[in-house]
Structure 1
């Protein structure tokens, strides 16, 4: 039997909000150490990796490994039936074809139960445990969200250039160009606002604005975001999920087409 309880249902609601525009459905693998999800988006451009640790839950029990095919959109709708300060308990029997969500409304003597049918999905396992990188950027997550939003007004792609003394985000299109620069360790007087850049080798890589904007749906999880980059390798965008775990997005770089002139 699987049973997990969180006194803050908003955490699970934020999880579904952070992935529902990338994934229609996904396999949730429950073990005694926690819940893991790995899934490639519908366009096969990015990958989502979610890790929720057992010790991050207020109560957690998993007698045997359980694989559950979840419709993300339906799960999101169910979680919207709770308010942020409600308690949520998730239950599923071994080999069950349904999963149960129970909400306890602390503001009144009330609880509600929703039963969702599971899907038959094949789990996706990829060897993504190690993050090798030539450049690491740590910055405020809301700042990264603003960069992605603002630059997407000028172009479909964002160029990220890491050099020894900082990082530059830039783009260009028919209406003009835009670029935003950060010096290494700017705003060091405030750790939460600092932009930290670690560069082993200077690189410049181009990524899709659309997908980066979708990744920033996870901004609500953490005040900081980490970007791991290497030449000709997918970028990893990582957010911690309070004390529960983390979510990572993997995005392949865009290959610039050469002009045949």
Structure 2
């Protein structure tokens, strides 16, 4: 049985609007990790891969792996009946031929329920190999959508070139040519391999990256001894610092206790004088007051989103692609603010839209022999 509840139906609506023109019918493969969709367009030039993580759902349950064959156009029509902020629940029994969708309004008691017929779709899941790309470009998704839309008015193809100068998008048409160059200060970064990226993510999580045993075994003994010696010296320094902190803390407590006893004695004298009806003026020792620090008013500036454009390269890359497909890919702009382009010579372009609950990835084969 499958039961997947999304906090907002708008996420699924935006997702289907982005891919429905490339793919007509497809299987949503459901498993304990989430929902996956992988399909190619009719011309077998572009491939789309969608993943919705189980953690991104408000409630998720999938007892066993199961495919949901759907017509994306029909599913889009059913989802239009829901508001963007409605809670959307997908339900399907084992070996069922119907997908049940329930929409729950947040501001009212309205609950809408729809049933959509499922399809038997024979499709093979393609294994996408891990590729170490020569160039990676991260840019605002709205900027990418604008570039491909503007250049599509001039021609049918676009040449994407990544060099030390920057990232250039160029299109040549019958009546006009266009070229857009995106630059950044400094040298381009180096593109990390998959292994290096995994190690970097492990460090960000505070974990130690995995290292080969051979490298650890080949480490000279002298180097290990030096490391242990430095570690011991560091521990001794930390112990000395801790002892000094404890002494300072004890002195501070002793001084504060004396001041409290003096203030309590003065208060007792005042109470006795009040009871006897005599006005007694107590001479309390005047303690030196600490000078007040000038109050610095912190000026808070509203942080805007940092510059989203960045690129890295290991070698010069120049490839030509169909603008018609790139315009379709750019419809995923509503899902996230950034898009990443990954390129290597004679390898399909990867257009990656990574949003909070999953990702949408498009693969597009380059044009060969098209100047």
Normalized against structure 2, the TM-score is what?
0.67
Bigger radius of gyration:
2
> Does 1:62 find its partner at 2:62?
yes
C-alpha deviations, 1:177-204, integer Å up to 9, x for none? 0000011359xx9764332111111011
Q: Which runs of 5+ in 2 are unaligned?
A: 187-302
Inter-partner Cα distance in structure 2 for 1:197 and 1:245: 23
Asked if the contact 1:171–1:179 (Cα under 8 Å) also holds between the matched residues in 2, the reply is yes
Say yes or no: does 1:76 pair with 2:190. no
SS at the partner of 1:145?
A: helix
Runs ≥4 residues deviating over 6 A:
none
Do the aligned residues in 1 keep the contact of 2:4 with 2:61 (CA within 8 Å)?
yes
In structure 1, the partner of 2:322 is 208
Correspondence for 1:52 = 52
1:250 aligned residue: 363
**TM-score relative to the length of structure 1:** 0.94
- Partner in structure 2 of residue 124 of structure 1: 124
Question: In 1, Cα distance between the equivalents of 2:339 and 2:176?
Answer: 28
Q: Is this contact kept in 2: 1:192–1:224, CA < 8 A?
A: no
Asked if the contact 2:85/2:106 (under 8 Å) is kept, the reply is yes
Considering fraction of residues, name the structure with more helix: 2
In the other structure, the counterpart of 1:178 is 178
Deviations 1:64-122 (A, max 9, x none): 00111110000111111111111100000011111110001223221111111111112
Counterpart-to-counterpart distance in 2, 1:212 and 1:192: 25
Check conservation: 1:167, 1:184, Cα contact below 8 A: no
Partner of 1:12: 12
When structure 1 is superposed on structure 2, of 105-114 and 201-210 the one drifting more is 105-114
1:219 is matched with 333
SS at match of 1:4: strand
Does 1 or 2 have the higher relative contact order (CA < 8 Å, sep 6+)? 2
Report if aligned partners of 1:90, 1:99 keep a CA contact under 8 Å in 2: yes
1:128-154 deviation digits (Å, cap 9, x = unpaired)? 252431110000000000000000111
Distance 2:354 2:328 in 1: 16
Identify the match of residue 347 of structure 2 among 230, 233, 237.
233
SS in 2 for 1:193: coil
Corresponding position of 2:313: 199
Q: Distance in 2 between matches of 1:120 and 1:174?
A: 45
CA contact (8 A) 1:185 1:195 kept: no
Structure with the bigger percentage of strand: 1
* Aligned counterparts of 2:56 and 2:185: Cα–Cα separation in 1: 31
2:38 corresponds to: 38
For 1:191 and 1:14, the matched residues in 2 are separated by 23
Instruction: State the distance in 1 between where 2:366 and 2:185 align.
Output: 26
- Count of residue pairs brought into register by the alignment: 255
- Structure 1 unaligned residues grouped into runs of 5+: none
Alpha-carbon separation, structure 2, partners of 1:20 and 1:249:
13
TM-superposed CA distance for 1:256, in Å, is 2.3
